[in-house]
A and B are shown apart, each in its own frame.
Chain A
């Protein structure tokens, strides 16, 4: 859609929507992405090269286009295009697609009522990464690379990944929303081959570092300190003994616990998964509609929420792609399952199928990753409330025999999210309330409900960090989404650790 003189005005978009409703659509919306820009700069062992493709270390990608969604006869139709000459045809195609889909409807789609809003959302960013001269970014990377280039480090990879998206949204109910979202995901990794022959690695992906997430988070002092820590920990890993294979307490730091929550609370509580909309690929959920209000998901220490109002997180986006404003909803209240990650469509269907009003309106979590994808239930910020078990030192002191795990390395989860296996980058053994040495190749596994019911310590607010997820995959066709998790240190007892 580079030919901007052919881009419709707001009124013209609305006219196209009116044409669809006049043609029989009971609802229609359009999302126009005037800009969807992503930039990537990678430094690998001092070279501006993408370590995984071997391609250029500087890459910039831009997209622009529009997606039209409409309801006809209780079924969705969708069509998208990047060609401004095809707008009328694309709207028509969306309605045609809905008419085809209406030939096979089992539960006619109805959208929950919403407050019709006009609004604007701009994500907090003091210095747009796309405005930072490439030379300045490279100078930063070279300075950091010098810190990482030390004995024991065989591979050094630093990556700066940024996106800037401008979206206009219009629907047949009168909503009109504009969003500009800048996301910035820097990271650094060091790798080295240990005495056992295995490759070990340490990675730093910063949690929320303040009130905004532009280039201002690239404070050299902070990054150099973190870089020194990574190198130190990598060198400890290179000579560390293997993780024991046994059953013990696991203390999970927020930089790993976010992924545990993501996979076994977040995905498990997406209402489209619960209703069976992802069974052809991503999977379902062990949760059933009758579980809401009844299921003991975890110990009473566990309170989880979907909070799209957390300041400065990719899981906070102002309005979802149903035009619903950001929500803060409880998912698990002191151990009991009470809520889900939901949209206008799924709450209506779930309430009807359950025969009771479980959900009061949409949870505001319907999001699409691009103009050519339809919105589906996506996590916002799926958080665990801080607890009353003190700070990390207090929790360690209270642990007889355990292991502290940090840094995600691999994740594999059952298709209904009923069980899991995680490997982490590093771990420290805990004996008699004291942190002992590092062990390599740590992993742990469990059954989701047994695991959360064995939650025996939740760190206080001093341990609570907001971690970002840049790459949550879901849907068919596939979609990658950005979101967040506010997470304290957590301890679980009787967990199987080791391979």
Chain B
């Protein structure tokens, strides 16, 4: 039976379905693209040491674009995946609206796949069948003995199977992707004192689920937060160490405000074409977009059938140029770079510092005071053209003092330019990387991660607000 997204036959079922839509559009003499997204998701949510929500959803979305060279209209819908007549109505709706669109000033390129591509490298049948009881058992193990009347567990265990496919009237070929993922965030927080610490994990196969590493981090952080003094840090410049989550946030914005060709065309990039080939960041900073990075849920070909290859965005700090999508090529005469994909496969490459965890780092001797910021909350783009962004520390900052002691700083705000952060401030990066999830979207499930070092050191970074309590 093909009714199951987990079924071996699902790729064939999707091909057959999209091909029926394709043939229908061809019969009506219209060029069109079809894109399919199906998910079967499960979320177990914790709050106040209870399961606050246990939810499942099985949702399929169809996206259709009808187009002529200079006209296009898109329609999309949540569909019953077995109701082809209803899908045809969505195609017809786009076709009917098309003549009403006005012409644009340039011609659009039609996607034309020259071969079928089926990608299931991130599909793990074991993770695809994880159930509610197994999820709760994972959480129990990862947090055993850590809760009290005051210390409460919050968190999410979000997992699912996701399936995407693309086809167009230009050829009878499909670009199909199916994957599994799990994103786990577990938080311990004190009701009385309002501090919060967390541990996270982003995986695509069941074998990588590791409740012990979550437990070790939470238990160690909890010990610090129960035994060390809280402190309001004076404003000023600090040596800081960023954790995996904070680094991934900065790395994401670095790519968005520098590599994105569309942002450059909109005038919102911190770099310009004059910067190509120039040393704009520290030589320690190499960022790549690499479809070989399995942890980032890559696709081998893009929506236009272009085989994707690894490329550096920053090569030891030298900017190599913008990522260009086909639509920019069409509108601005640029050359597309093969990045018409749902999720980029970004990595900030590791450095040479042999340290795997904050537990290890805190135990090392140090020659200065160091502020550890694991996570950055609610980043705002203060001035995109200057790469100036602001955000606040969250989930368990530590002040590692030169004398070996540890204090618990109240959260602080950092407002800084990414060019400075990954330029003059960058001091070292850990030799070990971990993926950090970037798939928490407000719409459809589309797993993705940014692969970043587990820790990174930065010098002389200013804090501009220092909270008065946790």
Q: CB-nearest residue of chain A relative to B65?
A: A56
Residues of B within 8 A of A (CB): 41, 43-60, 65, 67, 71-83, 86, 89-90, 93, 97, 100-102, 104-106, 132-133, 136, 152, 154-156, 158, 185-187, 189, 191, 194, 196, 198, 262, 266-268, 325-328, 331, 377-386, 388, 390-392, 394, 411, 413, 415, 440-443, 464-465, 467-468
* 7 nearest A-B pairs in the assembled complex, by CB-CB distance: A54-B327, A412-B380, A2-B86, A410-B380, A101-B51, A478-B442, A134-B100
Tell me the complex Cα distance, A447–B464, Å: 12
Q: CB < 8 Å: which of A275, A374, A414 contacts B411?
A: A414
Contact sample, A vs B, 18 pairs, CB 8 Å cutoff:
A47-B331, A51-B266, A52-B266, A53-B327, A77-B54, A83-B58, A98-B54, A142-B102, A155-B266, A284-B194, A372-B59, A374-B55, A410-B380, A412-B378, A414-B377, A421-B390, A421-B465, A478-B442
Q: CB < 8 Å: which of A52, A57, A78, A415 contacts B53?
A: A78
How many whole Å from B12's CB to the nearest CB in chain A? Answer: 20
The reply to whether A84 and B80 contact each other, CB–CB distance below 8 Å, is: yes
A134-B101, A276-B48, A411-B378 given; name 14 further pairs at CB < 8 Å.
A48-B71, A56-B65, A56-B67, A65-B59, A79-B57, A81-B58, A134-B97, A142-B102, A191-B266, A277-B48, A410-B390, A411-B380, A423-B380, A441-B383
Q: Does A280 contact B (CB under 8 A)?
A: yes
Query: Which residues of the partner chain B approach A61 to less than 8 Å between Cβ atoms?
Result: 75-77
Residues of A within 8 A of B (CB): 1-3, 46-49, 51-65, 75-86, 93, 96-98, 100-101, 103-107, 133-135, 138, 142, 154-155, 191, 193, 197-199, 275-281, 283-284, 286, 372, 374, 409-416, 418-419, 421-423, 441, 443, 445, 447, 473, 476-480, 499
How many whole Å from A134's CB to the nearest CB in chain B? Answer: 4
Query: Which residues of the partner chain B approach A476 to less than 8 Å between Cβ atoms?
Result: 43, 45, 156, 158, 440
Query: Which residues of the partner chain A approach B83 to less than 8 Å between Cβ atoms?
Result: 2-3
The reply to whether B58 and A56 contact each other, CB–CB distance below 8 Å, is: no
Q: CB < 8 Å: which of A77, A155, A415 contacts B267?
A: A155
Tell me the complex Cα distance, A105–B49, Å: 7
Query: Which residues of the partner chain B approach A374 to less than 8 Å between Cβ atoms?
Result: 53, 55
Q: CB < 8 Å: which of A55, A276, A478 contacts B154?
A: A276
The reply to whether A101 and B53 contact each other, CB–CB distance below 8 Å, is: yes
Tell me the complex Cα distance, A241–B94, Å: 48
The reply to whether B392 and A415 contact each other, CB–CB distance below 8 Å, is: yes
Query: Which residues of the partner chain A approach B54 to less than 8 Å between Cβ atoms?
Result: 75-78, 97-98, 100-101
Q: CB-nearest residue of chain B relative to A89?
A: B58
Tell me the complex Cα distance, A98–B50, Å: 12
Q: CB-nearest residue of chain B relative to A76?
A: B53
How many whole Å from A64's CB to the nearest CB in chain B? Answer: 7
How many whole Å from A36's CB to the nearest CB in chain B? Answer: 8
Say yes or no: A54-B55 contact (C-beta < 8 A), given A421-B413, A476-B45. Answer: no
Query: Which residues of the partner chain A approach B391 to less than 8 Å between Cβ atoms?
Result: 412
Tell me the complex Cα distance, A81–B136, Å: 23
How many whole Å from B74's CB to the nearest CB in chain A? Answer: 4
Query: Which residues of the partner chain A approach B386 to less than 8 Å between Cβ atoms?
Result: 198
The reply to whether A415 and B411 contact each other, CB–CB distance below 8 Å, is: yes
Tell me the complex Cα distance, A138–B101, Å: 8
Tell me the complex Cα distance, A103–B384, Å: 47
Say yes or no: A280-B133 contact (C-beta < 8 A), given A54-B325, A58-B97. Answer: no
Which one of B53, B67, B74 has the greatest number of beta carbons of chain A within 10 Å? B53
Tell me the complex Cα distance, A97–B155, Å: 17
The reply to whether A97 and B441 contact each other, CB–CB distance below 8 Å, is: no
Tell me the complex Cα distance, A55–B33, Å: 12
Tell me the complex Cα distance, A50–B142, Å: 44
Tell me the complex Cα distance, A65–B93, Å: 20
Q: CB < 8 Å: which of A57, A62, A82 contacts B80?
A: A82
Say yes or no: A276-B191 contact (C-beta < 8 A), given A199-B385, A478-B442. Answer: yes
The reply to whether A419 and B467 contact each other, CB–CB distance below 8 Å, is: yes
Q: CB-nearest residue of chain B relative to A284?
A: B194
How many whole Å from B245's CB to the nearest CB in chain A? Answer: 12
Q: CB-nearest residue of chain A relative to B325?
A: A54
How many whole Å from A159's CB to the nearest CB in chain B? Answer: 14
How many whole Å from A33's CB to the nearest CB in chain B? Answer: 9
Query: Which residues of the partner chain A approach B156 to less than 8 Å between Cβ atoms?
Result: 280-281, 476
The reply to whether A280 and B415 contact each other, CB–CB distance below 8 Å, is: no
The reply to whether B392 and A54 contact each other, CB–CB distance below 8 Å, is: no
Query: Which residues of the partner chain B approach A46 to less than 8 Å between Cβ atoms?
Result: 105
The reply to whether B105 and A47 contact each other, CB–CB distance below 8 Å, is: yes
Query: Which residues of the partner chain A approach B383 to less than 8 Å between Cβ atoms?
Result: 198, 423, 441
Say yes or no: A279-B189 contact (C-beta < 8 A), given A79-B57, A81-B57, A199-B268. Answer: yes
How many whole Å from B144's CB to the nearest CB in chain A? Answer: 13
Q: CB < 8 Å: which of B48, B155, B380, B467 contacts A275?
A: B48
How many whole Å from B175's CB to the nearest CB in chain A? Answer: 17
The reply to whether B102 and A48 contact each other, CB–CB distance below 8 Å, is: yes
The reply to whether B89 and A76 contact each other, CB–CB distance below 8 Å, is: no
Tell me the complex Cα distance, A327–B267, Å: 44
Q: CB-nearest residue of chain A relative to B46?
A: A280
Q: CB-nearest residue of chain B relative to A49?
A: B104
Query: Which residues of the partner chain B approach A155 to less than 8 Å between Cβ atoms?
Result: 266-267
How many whole Å from B88's CB to the nearest CB in chain A? Answer: 10
The reply to whether A56 and B48 contact each other, CB–CB distance below 8 Å, is: no
Q: CB < 8 Å: which of A55, A57, A419 contacts B101?
A: A57
